[in-house]
Amino acid sequence: MEQVPRERDARTRLDLQAVGALLSAQRQRIGVYAHAHRPHPHDAERPLERRPDVIPDAVVELLEAMPMAAMLVTPVLDERGEVEDILYLAQNKHARAYSTTHVPLDAVPRWTGPVRLFERFPLLKHTRLPRMLAAAHRECTPQGPEAVEWFIPRPSDPPARLSNEVHVAPCGEHLLVSWEPGHRLRMAMGAQKLVKTCWAEWNLADDTVEPSVGFGYVLGLDETAPAPDLLGMAALVAPESLPELYRTLYEVLLREHRSECELWMPGPGPYKRVIRMVAEPVRPEGGGPVWAVRAVLVDVTDDRRRRGQARAADEEARRQRGRAEALAEVSHALRDAVLPRFAGELVSYGLDAVAVYRPDATGSGVGGDWYKARGLPGGRILIALGDARGHGLDAVTLMAKLRYALGGLAYTEAPVEQLTRWLNEVACDDGAESTATAVIARYHPERSLLRWTCAGHPRPVLLRDGRATQLPAPEGGPGVTLGVMPGIGYTAVETFLDDTDIVLLYSDGLTERRDTDPDEDTTRLLNEAENCLGGARPPRGHDGLQEYAERLLDRLDGPHRADDATLLALRRVPVRKEPTGSP
């Protein structure tokens, strides 16, 4: 009985040794590369032919007031007026602190005043910075942010790799260069916790780690614990995951391919945490060995657990009533638990909202329609309506994930354009089949303003003075469907509401029919929205708006509808108190 644990421990030690050997070999390759690409040695920085003019006090104060590392440089021009050199004139306290923590003491001479930038840091010549400096001087416009990656060789130790997001901006006759290590992630901490996603970059030359702010939280580490290097990651995962981690690192480091794996890690109680890791190689510009591993890590424990529970429920339902009946019951229960029932609670925020939902007429299962309307700190209202791809439990699971993610992200007070972009990243990370359309809005009652974005979804309809019109599309057209492509931007539309205005948000199942033209479907909706008014606005109060929404959906409903349908009706109401908070 003791032989099996002993053999498992021996296998674990061998797997850990293999990971360590792989990392050690890659570190040696980086050392060879750094040695071959090191700058020509020089005894000291050449003195300047003339001292630069004294920097005005206002510029010095501006430099010190910046909340990030920054330095002031000035271009040296040749006879043609082209930049031939850059003088490094001054730096602020954040730049000095950055140098203390990132630039090795034995790598460059102590900075005592203005020097030639590319003589002090020769390898910066081979990055994007010279082009940014020349463009900022020539065009007199800010440049960046752009990623600038380089390394500083050291006499005996491994090279120190630096990776920053750099801005260059004109500042009188000078140029202001500012930078931040890695990405600006502190504002995304809440989003990372909500969707249990983080990322990190492991520098293989010096074993340093640049993690996101949610890295320790996703991995279940103590708040004070440092981010582990790759060998430390190997020690954290369960023994059965070590072969998968080795395979992924082998693909990234030696084959220079993007790779992914699922890592099992110790979790609370008897459960293990499941981390999905997607990693890619980072190589120097111009070629060279992989000198860093960049990865996104997602805690999929709950998803795996839910999927396991769904499979168990499916098997039980198969024995009792059959798989289709069981999935329909689970989906209906989840939808009822997720989607709200409005009872006029938003009136104090300056808006009344009602929702009507009908499942599809074909009996193929509950779809992915979802909606949200809730008050936010500061007196604003978050409003959204979307449609997750497919039917059944998978669609409801995706719509629930998007809905809860949006509810948490809205508390960052970011504009709706950024909320939509973040929600797109959540959908993209969920898998190739996890796509959804949505309209996402925020209502500002003090201005009677509705700001909204569109991600592949039918545009809202405005009822004003008895006429129904579809709101104009954002500049450049409706945005891309959520989950199709990461890194997509979205544009907001601003709609000011009058006292009697009603705004209708709806899913495409309300209008679309098989073998019909989409424009005809929209026209039918506009006509019926006007006809339901009967020449008069809906009665005041929540019940009057509810009755109008149900009557409109009844007119558009029928046996030919092949998808579930959702209608969300909004009406402006007087605000009794002045909202507070940022616009």
Q: Has this prediction a pTM greater than 0.75? A: no
CA distance 326 to 318: 8
* 3-state secondary structure at position 255: coil
Residue where the block lists tokens 């901006």: 169
Residue 565: pLDDT over 90: no
Query: How confident is residue 41, by pLDDT bands cut at 50, 70 and 90?
Result: low
Task: State the virtual CA torsion across 309, 315, 320, 324 in degrees, nearest 10.
Answer: 90
Mean pLDDT of 76-81: 82
Query: How confident is residue 423, by pLDDT bands cut at 50, 70 and 90?
Result: very high
* Contact (CB, 8 A) for 275 and 260: no
Q: 150: which residues sit within 8 A by CB, 6+ positions away?
A: 121, 123, 124, 126, 127, 161, 162
Mean pLDDT of 350-366: 75
Query: How confident is residue 287, by pLDDT bands cut at 50, 70 and 90?
Result: confident
CA distance 442 to 316: 43
Tokens of 552: 């409109």
Mean pLDDT of 219-247: 90
CA angle, 505 then 469 then 475, to 5°: 80
The predicted structure's pLDDT at residue 432: 67
Kind of pairing between the strands at 493-496 and 467-470: unpaired
Query: How confident is residue 303, by pLDDT bands cut at 50, 70 and 90?
Result: confident
* 3-state secondary structure at position 348: helix
Segment 407-417, tens digit of pLDDT = 899 999 899 99
Tokens of 52: 């630069």
The predicted structure's pLDDT at residue 123: 84
CA distance 418 to 423: 9
* Contact (CB, 8 A) for 178 and 68: yes
Which of 457, 25, 95 lies closest to 253, judged by CA? 25
* 3-state secondary structure at position 143: strand
CA distance 567 to 569: 6
Mean pLDDT score across all residues of the chain: 83
Task: State the virtual CA torsion across 355, 360, 363, 366 in degrees, nearest 10.
Answer: -50
* 3-state secondary structure at position 331: helix
Kind of pairing between the strands at 381-391 and 197-203: unpaired
CA distance 292 to 281: 6
* 3-state secondary structure at position 87: strand
* Contact (CB, 8 A) for 138 and 81: no
3-class secondary structure per residue, 481-494: CECCCCCCCCCCEE
Residue 38: pLDDT over 90: no
Kind of pairing between the strands at 83-91 and 115-116: antiparallel
Residue 322: pLDDT over 70: no
More confident residue, 203 or 397: 203
Segment 430-485, tens digit of pLDDT = 776 789 999 999 999 999 999 999 999 999 999 998 899 999 998 888 889 999 99
Residue where the block lists tokens 């959906």: 553
CA distance 227 to 215: 8
Tokens of 400: 């629930």
- Widest CA span of the chain, in angstroms? 90
The predicted structure's pLDDT at residue 583: 37
CA distance 253 to 255: 6
Query: How confident is residue 340, by pLDDT bands cut at 50, 70 and 90?
Result: low
Kind of pairing between the strands at 461-464 and 502-506: antiparallel
Q: What distances in angstroms separate CA 247 from CA 207, 254, 429, one per listed residue?
A: 20, 10, 22
